């Protein structure tokens, strides 16, 4: 009598939206070639149809619309190039949308090619300029620094360096071959050793290795002077500013010269000739400086011009990117469709939710109308063997919860969806751990800011972390509300208790409060009306009181939560009509959980209600170790010992009941089905076999649509 009523009650429950995923249907589309593009893009805007790849065996470049896809890829490459250039130039890609006429793909392609060409040309020009600018700048720095070496050595008449300087010597035939270095000659060669120098500039981080290498190559017969350049020079490749060091190497001999030049080349050090004569130095410096200013002006003009071009691109960039991305998606989808025999129509298959059918038909009609097609698009339902995809209709509130649940695993088609319960349980469990109404208010303010600026933020591109926060703004809102609530119960405001709901129920014995920590307080009022009494704070028994309260509460919530999960599995089994799951999974699980942990919860509640001093650890542990012994002072209610023995036996029985029968029954069913079945008529038999194979992993979603059998009926 009772189970019948129960069934009736469950059947009459109103359906929950998110509880089961949408009913899906397998549809076939036959689209005339002329309206295909438009139809797919309209369907894409709707986003309610999942296409099946009908050309899975073809490689990407053998598909029909491969050229269009390639063109889109090429265009997006160009767009990425523009974006990169814009970022390098330090221009903000403006979020303001310029009103502009809709541009179609062909025009855009031409447009982009023009822009790219223009940009590349400008870049190469400015690169050339930049290079000569860098060279001049480096020359200038080398002149300044190297001169200071040379002059300082002149200035100290007795020093060794002066000696070296005096000896700088070049012979005549050398000066003709020297292209890179222009050595200043001294008319009177003082000795035959011939000391010369090479000056140049090198990246700062290479100096040490450079010096070591020079030392080795010349066997120590050289003098190395260096000074920081002072100015940073732009690296032409990465366009970053790098620090460089000016160096002057003194050496002797022709062989050493070639070696040093080779090493300079290998280290990417640029050598510049520095004249010995001070007046000549001054002259060259002036020349270089004037050319530098000229170049700077040209370079600046070039950069301004380029920035202007880039800025005009930047205005359109987002729109173009969206357009190209959309086109590419459309062609990628078109590549999933098949041509029919006549080559005039495209055939597509896919899954769509039942409720979206009218919307889709409307979109398809619109597509036919807009593309002036003679023939309409045919849209009809089909049967499919495979199981449908899971699709939940979510909104901004439920979406983050659905994502949290999906992170653990996506529910099968029409399986009960835990996201429904997660919407409340997740923030609530968070708040149990984060119960503090001060912190809760901070969190609430943050959530409110996010929600208040919803319209603005949703159009902006946020960082990955911010995006996560923004996506979960309603989760945070609920979390904060619950933590304020729990914080009030815990009576904690930044860990400080407040007397919000009146004065404490406890007071000291006398006015001096001397024995508050030895004997304790006395209760002289009704219990605190809401939450924890503030007097517990700082008392000697605070920790044991709060621990016992929070821990026991956690056990109660945990057991309730687990029960909810198992009960959901019952609804699942019921929905899919699998009595096997109910009998050999749900029932023993329920018994096992509740005979151990359910019993513990019961003990906790009884202890709370009666105010007993029983030690629940002791009760639980000795329930396993020596169930027949008497409980002594830990007895909470009459008949506890026999009850414990019964519960223990039930739990012991539940374990093999839960683990063994189900796999064996499934194996038996499997072997039965693989044998040719004569009893069932042909078609049904095939159907049944199919169902069993597709869902053999012990799940039975297909049975609900398989009229011949449900697992429960077979197992009978």
Q: Which residues sit at the interface with another protein, rule CB under 8 A?
A: 59-62, 66, 69-70, 73-74, 77, 80-81, 209, 213, 216-217, 259, 262-263, 265-267
CA distance 476 to 474: 5
For residue 344, count other CB atoms closer than 10 A to its CB.
11
**Whose CA is closest to 365, among 31, 98, 33, 598?**
31
Q: State the minimum distance, in angstroms, from the CB of residue 156 to another protein.
A: 34
Q: State the minimum distance, in angstroms, from the CB of residue 325 to another protein.
A: 14
Nearer Cβ to another protein (25/252): 252
Nearer Cβ to another protein (69/246): 69
**Whose CA is closest to 367, among 381, 352, 378, 356?**
378
Residue given tokens 């159009």 in the structure block:
459
Bin 698: left if φ > 0, else alpha if -120 < ψ < 50, else beta: left
Computed on alpha carbons and rounded to an integer, the radius of gyration of the chain in Å comes to 42
Nearer Cβ to another protein (216/509): 216
CA distance 364 to 377: 7
Q: State the minimum distance, in angstroms, from the CB of residue 308 to another protein.
A: 24
Residue given tokens 């003679």 in the structure block:
374
Nearer Cβ to another protein (63/473): 63
Nearer Cβ to another protein (276/332): 332
CA distance 335 to 337: 5
Q: State the minimum distance, in angstroms, from the CB of residue 386 to another protein.
A: 22
Nearer Cβ to another protein (73/496): 73
For residue 498, count other CB atoms closer than 10 A to its CB.
14
- The span from the first CA to the last CA of the chain, in angstroms, equals 22
For the chain, give the number of residues: 716
Q: State the minimum distance, in angstroms, from the CB of residue 70 to another protein.
A: 6
E strand segments, 282-373: 338-339, 345-353
Helices of type H across 97-159? 105-155
Q: State the minimum distance, in angstroms, from the CB of residue 698 to another protein.
A: 28
Q: State the minimum distance, in angstroms, from the CB of residue 242 to another protein.
A: 17
Q: State the minimum distance, in angstroms, from the CB of residue 205 to another protein.
A: 10
Q: State the minimum distance, in angstroms, from the CB of residue 209 to another protein.
A: 6
Nearer Cβ to another protein (98/113): 113
Biggest distance spanned by C-alpha atoms of the chain:
128
Q: State the minimum distance, in angstroms, from the CB of residue 268 to another protein.
A: 8
Nearer Cβ to another protein (54/217): 217
Classify residue 193 by its DSSP letter: S
- List of residues 6+ apart from 564 with CB closer than 8 A: 421
Q: Provide φ and ψ at 22, rounded to 5°.
A: -60, 145
Contact in structure between 382 and 28 (CB atoms under 8 Å): yes
Q: State the minimum distance, in angstroms, from the CB of residue 255 to another protein.
A: 10
- List of residues 6+ apart from 257 with CB closer than 8 A: 196, 198, 251
Nearer Cβ to another protein (81/501): 81
- Report helix, strand or coil for 339: strand
Contact in structure between 66 and 74 (CB atoms under 8 Å): no
Contact in structure between 479 and 434 (CB atoms under 8 Å): yes
CA distance 444 to 43: 39
Tell me the two tokens of residue 112.
């982009």
**Whose CA is closest to 227, among 180, 261, 190, 274?**
274
Nearer Cβ to another protein (317/562): 317
Classify residue 410 by its DSSP letter: P
Contact in structure between 351 and 27 (CB atoms under 8 Å): yes
Nearer Cβ to another protein (74/135): 74
Q: State the minimum distance, in angstroms, from the CB of residue 251 to another protein.
A: 14
H or E element at residue 712: helix 711-715
Q: State the minimum distance, in angstroms, from the CB of residue 63 to another protein.
A: 10
H or E element at residue 387: none
Nearer Cβ to another protein (66/587): 66
Nearer Cβ to another protein (77/280): 77
- Report helix, strand or coil for 418: coil
Q: State the minimum distance, in angstroms, from the CB of residue 211 to another protein.
A: 12
Nearer Cβ to another protein (216/561): 216
Nearer Cβ to another protein (263/685): 263
Name 347's bridge partners: 30, 338
Q: State the minimum distance, in angstroms, from the CB of residue 315 to another protein.
A: 23
CA distance 62 to 19: 43
């Amino acid at each position: 009598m009772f189970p019948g009523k129960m069934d009736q009650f469950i059947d009459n429950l109103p359906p929950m939206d998110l509880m089961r995923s949408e009913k899906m249907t397998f549809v076939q589309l036959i689209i005339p070639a002329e309206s295909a593009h438009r139809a797919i893009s309209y369907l894409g805007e709707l986003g309610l149809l999942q296409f099946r790849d009908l050309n899975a065996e073809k490689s990407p470049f053998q598909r029909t619309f491969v050229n269009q896809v390639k063109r889109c890829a090429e265009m997006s490459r160009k767009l990425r190039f523009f974006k990169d250039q814009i970022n390098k130039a330090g221009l903000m890609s403006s979020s303001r949308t310029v009103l502009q006429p809709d541009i179609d793909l062909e025009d855009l392609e031409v447009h982009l090619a023009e822009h790219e060409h223009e940009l590349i040309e400008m870049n190469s020009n400015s690169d050339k300029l930049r290079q000569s600018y860098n060279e001049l700048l480096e020359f200038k720095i080398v002149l300044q620094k190297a001169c200071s070496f040379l002059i300082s050595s002149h200035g100290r008449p007795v020093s060794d360096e002066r000696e070296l300087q005096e000896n700088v010597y070049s012979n005549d035939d050398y000066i003709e071959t020297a292209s890179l270095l222009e050595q200043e000659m001294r008319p009177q060669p003082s000795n035959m050793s011939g000391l010369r120098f090479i000056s140049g500039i090198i990246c700062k981080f290479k100096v040490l290795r450079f010096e070591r290498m020079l030392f080795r190559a010349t066997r120590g017969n050289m003098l190395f002077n260096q000074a920081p350049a002072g100015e940073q020079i732009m690296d032409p490749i990465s366009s970053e500013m790098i620090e460089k060091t000016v160096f002057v190497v003194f050496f002797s001999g022709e062989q050493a010269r070639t070696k040093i030049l080779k090493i300079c080349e290998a280290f990417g050090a640029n050598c510049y000739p520095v004249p010995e004569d001070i007046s000549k130095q001054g002259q060259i410096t002036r020349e270089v400086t004037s050319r530098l200013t000229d170049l700077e002006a040209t370079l600046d003009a070039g950069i301004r011009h380029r920035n202007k071009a880039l800025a005009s691109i930047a205005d359109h960039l987002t729109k173009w990117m969206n357009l190209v991305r959309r086109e590419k998606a459309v062609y990628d989808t078109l590549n999933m469709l098949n041509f029919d025999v006549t080559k005039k129509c495209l055939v597509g298959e896919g899954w769509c939710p039942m409720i979206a059918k009218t919307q889709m038909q409307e979109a398809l009609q619109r597509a036919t109308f807009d593309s002036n097609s003679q023939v309409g698009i045919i849209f009809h339902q089909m049967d499919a063997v495979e199981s449908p995809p899971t699709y939940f209709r979510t909104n901004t509130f439920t979406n983050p919860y659905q994502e949290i649940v999906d992170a653990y695993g996506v529910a099968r088609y029409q399986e009960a969806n835990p996201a429904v319960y997660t919407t409340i349980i997740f923030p609530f469990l968070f708040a149990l751990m984060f119960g503090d109404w001060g912190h809760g208010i901070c969190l609430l303010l943050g959530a409110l800011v996010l929600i208040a600026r919803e319209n603005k933020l949703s159009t902006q591109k946020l960082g990955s972390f911010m995006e996560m926060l923004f996506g979960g703004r309603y989760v945070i809102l609920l979390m904060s509300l619950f933590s304020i609530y729990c914080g009030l119960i815990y009576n904690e405001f930044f860990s400080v208790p407040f007397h919000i709901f009146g004065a404490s129920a406890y007071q000291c014995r006398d006015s001096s409060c001397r024995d508050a920590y030895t004997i304790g307080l006395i209760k002289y009022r009704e219990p605190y009306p809401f939450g924890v009494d503030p007097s517990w704070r700082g008392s000697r028994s605070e920790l044991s009181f709060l621990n016992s309260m929070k821990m026991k509460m956690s056990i109660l919530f945990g057991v309730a939560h687990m029960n909810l999960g198992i009960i959901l599995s019952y609804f699942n089994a019921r929905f899919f009509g699998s009595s096997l799951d109910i009998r050999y999974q749900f029932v023993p699980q329920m018994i096992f959980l509740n005979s151990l942990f359910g019993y513990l919860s019961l003990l906790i509640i009884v202890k709370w209600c009666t105010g007993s001093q029983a030690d629940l650890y002791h009760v639980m542990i000795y329930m396993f170790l020596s169930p027949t012994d008497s409980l002594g002072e830990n007895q909470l209610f009459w008949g506890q010992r026999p009850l414990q023995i019964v519960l223990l036996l039930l739990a012991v029985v539940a374990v093999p009941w839960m683990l063994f029968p189900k796999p064996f029954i499934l194996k038996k069913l499997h072997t039965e089905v693989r044998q040719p079945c004569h009893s069932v008529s042909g078609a049904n038999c095939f159907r049944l076999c199919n169902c069993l194979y597709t869902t053999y992993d012990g799940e039975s979603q297909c049975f609900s649509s398989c009229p011949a059998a449900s697992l429960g009926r077979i197992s009978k």
